[in-house]
Structure 1
């Protein structure tokens, strides 16, 4: 029997940012989640709208289940409370539509000040990816 050729990536390739965020120690996980969803996200949207740029294609947050232990197999705390994923059409779109309005000038100051209210930025780890997806 002949082997089939490997499936090739199809569809649009995207650029993705995945960040692992830890809450500040003085708040609960529920307070962290509530602040992120009801205060921080609207602030980010306002700055993007004011800059006249579109929202990311995907902006998802996955919060640790507070009823489940958050330790690795070795017993070490995983060190984060939320995984945030942002997807853009390309690296250029990420730089133009996210970095430019939110990482420079007034946007950077306002977003940074707001993040300090609920995120332990010393523990934040973020990775950038070129996404490839196989269909079928």
Structure 2
């Protein structure tokens, strides 16, 4: 069974959703993949919160002109920008990855790059338990 993590990431103030997405996909991920090599997750999935441009009335401080498109809940429940799923072969593979990225020289490079586009104080991460999928055929 795979070992998966769920990560909620928020963009740095002053960064647009488009700038965030482009930097994450085109710069940060390739750099992390190169640094980690065989320790990179077997699957890295990004699910972005849908946002629309508005005049800024009635939205959150973090997203004054880019509210989330929501059906249930309130804007403040959706102030993050992307939900990332990291999947590793097993817990041992994750532990090897985590140990590797905690090496001072590797960690410093990752943190320095994250500071360019992430509000690191808002990052949340949890290990996923059972994953149940239901699909129509």
Pair in the same fold by TM > 0.5: yes
Question: TM-score of the superposition, structure 1-length normalised?
Answer: 0.78
1:56-84 Cα shifts (integer Å, max 9, x gaps): 11111111222384257342421200011
Shift in CA distance, 135/74, structure 1 to aligned 2, threshold 3 Å: closer
Paired residues in the alignment total 120
2:41 pairs with 1:56: yes
Partners of 1:134 and 1:36 in 2: how far apart? 27
Moved over 4 A (4+): 132-136
- Of Structure 1 and Structure 2, the greater helix share is in 2
In structure 1, the gaps of 5 or more residues are 1-12
Partners of 1:15 and 1:40 in 2: how far apart? 23
Residue 117 of structure 2 aligns to a residue whose secondary structure is coil
Structure of higher CA gyration radius:
1
In structure 2, the gaps of 5 or more residues are 53-65
RMSD across aligned C-alpha pairs, in angstroms? 2.2
Question: TM-score of the superposition, structure 2-length normalised?
Answer: 0.77
